[in-house]
């Protein structure tokens, strides 16, 4: 008899957006407790890169793929008051809303047109979203569009999809189109410091032109 997949395994095994939405809907209540128990660190460490490059008071930040909103408390503690979020899971957004740290939350899907005008944000951040079975690299086009010139993109990409899914090609294309310049690429590091040792990511920072 095959064992039942863990919630995290169901997320990575999702074959389409419908299955991914169902996986997160059933996991939303226990998501924080179970991922933190595995040592999930991305929503917390991403704030360090934001603080390195984005001045407090520069303008609103977009937490793209905010999930249950784990990144927001750290950002607020660092002095970032204007935080908006988007996620494709309404159940996860409901949990994020209860935290009370977001100025606005939008039910939207990365890879599709976003409901903000050009240059609305001083920066966008995205932690743990560009991974197996999740948002495509084409999401970066819209995220770049809604970020102002001189603003920053701060996000992680899982190593297993970085080349295979075309993220580096998208990075180069956006640079060649004169839309951004690379600022920093971290060394690979573990997304879960206690479990899932095979899940390694890199953090990237780009400056918009």
Q: What is the CATH number of the domain that holds 62?
A: 3.40.50.150
Q: How confident is the model at residue 32 (pLDDT cuts 50, 70, 90)?
A: confident
Asked whether residue 128 is domain-assigned, the answer is: yes
DSSP 8-state secondary structure symbol assigned to residue 109:
-
CA separation for the pair 143, 116 (Å, rounded): 10
Write the CA distances from 6 to 13, 23, 71, integer angstroms.
Answer: 10, 10, 23
- pTM over 0.95? The answer is no
DSSP 24-68: HHHHTTTHHHHHHHTTB-HHHHHHHHHHHHS-TTS--EEEET-TT
Instruction: Name, in order, each residue with C-beta under 8 angstroms of 46's C-beta and a sequence gap of 6 or more.
Output: 71, 125, 126, 127, 154, 155, 156, 203
Q: Kindly indicate the confidence band of residue 111, based on its pLDDT and cuts at 50, 70 and 90.
A: very high
1 belongs to a structural domain: no
Q: Identify whether 2 is part of a domain.
A: no
How many independent structural domains does the chain possess?
Answer: 1
Name the residue range of residue 77's domain.
7-208
């Amino acid at each position: 008899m095959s064992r039942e997949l863990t919630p995290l395994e169901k997320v990575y095994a999702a074959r389409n957006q419908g299955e991914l939405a169902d996986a997160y809907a059933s996991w939303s209540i226990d998501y924080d407790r179970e991922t933190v128990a595995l040592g999930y660190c991305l929503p917390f460490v991403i704030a360090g890169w934001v603080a390195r490059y984005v001045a407090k008071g520069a303008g609103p930040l977009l937490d793209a793929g905010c999930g249950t909103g784990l990144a927001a408390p750290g950002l607020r503690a660092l002095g970032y008051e204007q935080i908006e979020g988007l996620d494709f899971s309404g159940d996860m957004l409901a949990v994020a809303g209860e935290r009370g740290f977001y100025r606005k939350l939008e039910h939207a899907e990365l890879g599709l047109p976003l409901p903000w005008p050009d240059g609305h944000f001083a920066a966008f951040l995205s932690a743990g979203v560009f991974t197996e079975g999740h948002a495509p690299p084409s999401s970066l086009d819209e995220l770049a569009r809604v970020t102002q010139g001189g603003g920053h993109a701060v996000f992680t990409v899982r190593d297993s999809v970085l080349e295979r899914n075309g993220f580096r090609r998208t990075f180069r294309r956006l640079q060649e189109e004169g839309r951004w310049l690379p600022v920093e690429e971290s060394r690979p590091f573990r997304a879960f410091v206690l479990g899932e040792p095979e899940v390694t990511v890199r953090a990237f920072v780009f400056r918009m032109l």
